[in-house]
Amino acid sequence: MRIFDCQKVWARPFSIRCRRAIVKNMIRFLLCIFSFAILVSPVVSVWAAEGDVPGFRSSGLPVPRYVSLRSDHIYARTGPGMRYPIKWVFQKDGLPVEVIQEFDTWRKVRDKDGETGWIHQSLLSGARSVIVLSSDSKVPEPVDMRRGAGGDSRLVARAEPGVVGVLRKCDKSGWCQIDAQGFRGWIDRHFLWGIYPGENLD
């Protein structure tokens, strides 16, 4: 490519030669931008399709964070948009999920089993809930729900693993108060999914 000395072109009327050189270079520049956009577009689509969209946060809220589902019939998709295939369907209103990524109005969530999918923000609530885990790591065992925050407090009920409860508060002692199936009581946070270690809720 021939390069012309047009450094002083702004100080005097353009020569025909310089004008032609500038026009040619501008056309080449625009063609390069257009080609780059075409090449990058499929890459972004692949990121989204695989759920590995670069960290783009739109809400300003902490990521990760726990939220809950607003409905008992919610589609989790493979990417952040209606055009992406449905991965599975959530069928439990109030179920806790963890937001691990944001893209525009879509949230990538992870459930208790570690499965991930994209859900529109309108289908998620900031209300907190938890899932009761087993008191035994090897076999499903119910968990004690007590009247106060502590193992010495009176037993209120025994919650089966998988029960979903509304999270009311958690204190520094490591116990959380929940409402579940008509009962209100305190459970050791080690047996709850949907609350971070050391997180306190009033």
Quote the pLDDT of residue 48: 45
DSSP H helix total and E strand total for the chain: 1, 14
Residue pair 125/67 in contact (Cβ under 8 Å)? The answer is yes
List CB contacts of 97: < 8 A, sequence separation 6 or more: 66, 67, 68, 69, 90, 109, 110, 111, 119, 124
Beta strands 74-77 and 129-132: pairing type?
Answer: unpaired
Residue 124 tokens read as 């998620």
Cis peptide bond upstream of 64, omega within 30: yes
Quote the pLDDT of residue 77: 98
Residue pair 145/156 in contact (Cβ under 8 Å)? The answer is yes
Residue 115 tokens read as 């499965």
Quote the pLDDT of residue 46: 42
Count CA within 13 A, CB hemisphere, residue 30.
6
Quote the pLDDT of residue 37: 54
Q: What residues in the chain have per-residue pLDDT under 50? A: 1-14, 39-52
Q: Report the 10 Å Cβ neighbour count for 72.
A: 12
Residue-wise over 26-52: b if at least 16 C-beta within 10 A, else e? eeeeeeeeeeeeeeeeeeeeeebbebe
